[in-house]
A and B are shown apart, each in its own frame.
Chain A
């Protein structure tokens, strides 16, 4: 396995107490594989990724436990310098908002070339040539002419391509993309997702795609980890998850989105709200919103992540019954 996160815990110290944003999360990605981490805001999906990258704001954040094995080495016990070399060179991250991730007063060529100058010790001319080549590779038209342009001179889709180029620069083994297309229009989103998928295949990279969009996930992921209130509640290969969800939360999400190919009747919404992480309910964190709730769900211990088949797990006491329900279609 390329990356293996084991029982990761991340806490934030706030004025109102310690918040457990990530609570025993485990997942893994193989080379050439796309893992989608699906969740709503506050589910801990981005915080997990920041911890893997080692760019958590700390304080207030802190990794409180667990292991992150990358190519067999535990990132959490690694020295600062060693970790810095891994980051950027062997793992890279793409953020949602390309405009605020790029420095507005430096040309994109300079920012792309920085990767080569810092990590490879390249000369200015070499770095510039590398930048042009990267821009070509992510299909930015007239790369040689545009290399000296500033970020604001590019459109949103082009800026996200520059972010992808930067992540690719040193041909990392793993890319983490945090909502890479959320800020983009659908036609541009399709272009960018296509590009990411193609590059993943070409370089046999592992890709962790963090998103809230069930459509994007269905299009590109091999496997899905669904997160809720800082925990993974379901883990499954993509086709099985959509055909037969094994957790009521996943099922509720799938049923709450309207369809493009038919009018449909009333949407079946999940009632209530995601919990405040300072006051996560006892037992299953989803129980106040769950249509299948029983007494056992309201009490600790929390439901463990049950192994329910080849590569599938679900943190629901009643996964069998949930699986038994007819799927979405």
Chain B
């Protein structure tokens, strides 16, 4: 991979366990939901890192940890070399300006009693130096224009907008403080198909114009491939595989990634009878009581004894270390094997 200088965000061994307690007056901890367990990744300036996984895999918890909305149980998040996971008060406020978030549901993430101007301008009330008082209206209008909404709409309320337009408002709010990183948690999954493409195109345009870095969390694998430079696949709190979009989609080596890719219904009826399907048995195990060793082993067709005993590390598999194909990328499987799923 080309040298892109220092990563803007470095996440190391991030762990988040939510305690499970019993009792009301005398609480005792009886276990923990291991929502995120030892996750590490880098994010570079101006790139998009996609994070995919099924519900309960911990991808939204990662988003909350990055935003400092949750305190990690252990691990570090370095923003430009500084660990932000332990910051508080003024120092935290200063960092937060540079990391903003766009939420999934444009219906519940905008206050129905505030006008669009107030919603987008609210960040300025918290960070007054970002825009001097007199210029705020002008700045809000600029932001509306930037996301493709009519600046005249500044005094309207959220209910007067469609889902796609509301998501644009959410994006404008995220952009208000000129952040370097935007964490997007399922930003288009609540939108109609014909509107999704508009919002994706907008996000790509903004990235180019403003040199934004995105952490793009979603369950739709096609959309993640489209927008991401690199992709991480999560399963039950751990990263199963990380690589460029071509490495993950064209040369998946982790069985879970392969199963996930083969399960995506593709808009191509011609291939439907010949396409190989890996239908996984059963459901995702509970993160309160994850399987020993490899967390995917209970649903994996390749599982051997070693998978129950030894946690596979996220690393380039030994057999692909000298490979010059896309299979040379990090995969957390004892039996990693390159297999083309989506073109077969």
Residues of A in contact with B (beta carbons under 8 Å apart) = 40-41, 141, 155, 157-158, 185-191, 193-194, 212-221, 238-239, 242-243, 252-254, 256-261, 263-264, 266-271, 273-274, 328-329
Contacts and interface: CB of A to CB of B under 8 A. Distances in A.
A216 B201 contact: no
A259 to B, nearest CB: 6
A166 to B, nearest CB: 20
A158 to B, nearest CB: 7
24 contacts: A40-B192, A40-B194, A141-B282, A185-B55, A186-B219, A186-B263, A187-B279, A189-B263, A190-B262, A190-B279, A193-B265, A216-B265, A217-B267, A218-B267, A218-B268, A239-B270, A242-B270, A256-B194, A258-B225, A259-B226, A264-B226, A267-B201, A269-B201, A274-B194
B342 interface: yes
B30 interface: no
B269 A242 contact: yes
A315 to B, nearest CB: 17
B57 to A, nearest CB: 9
A242 B194 contact: no
A322 B343 CA distance: 28
Interface residues of B, number: 46
Contacts of B245: 263
B225 A256 contact: no
B261 interface: yes
Taking each of B200, B246, B261, B266, which has the highest tally of chain A beta carbons within 10 Å of its own beta carbon? Answer: B266
Interface string B247-265: 0010000000001111111
A77 to B, nearest CB: 36
B222 A258 contact: yes
A273 B54 contact: no
Contacts of A191: 279-280
Nearest to B268: A218
A267 B198 CA distance: 8
B223 A258 contact: yes
Contact of B261 (A155, A260, A329): A260
Nearest to B342: A261
B126 interface: no
Interface in B264-312: 264-270, 272, 277, 279-280, 282-284
Q: Is the interface of B mostly helix, strand, loop or mixed?
A: helix
Contacts of A261: 249, 266, 342-343
B162 interface: yes
Interface string B193-209: 11111101100100000
B265 A215 contact: yes
A220 to B, nearest CB: 8
Contact of A260 (B204, B266, B269): B266
Nearest to A216: B265
A187 B225 contact: no
B249 A260 contact: yes
Nearest to A241: B269
B164 interface: yes
B128 to A, nearest CB: 36
Nearest to A155: B283
Contacts of B8: none
B277 A243 contact: no
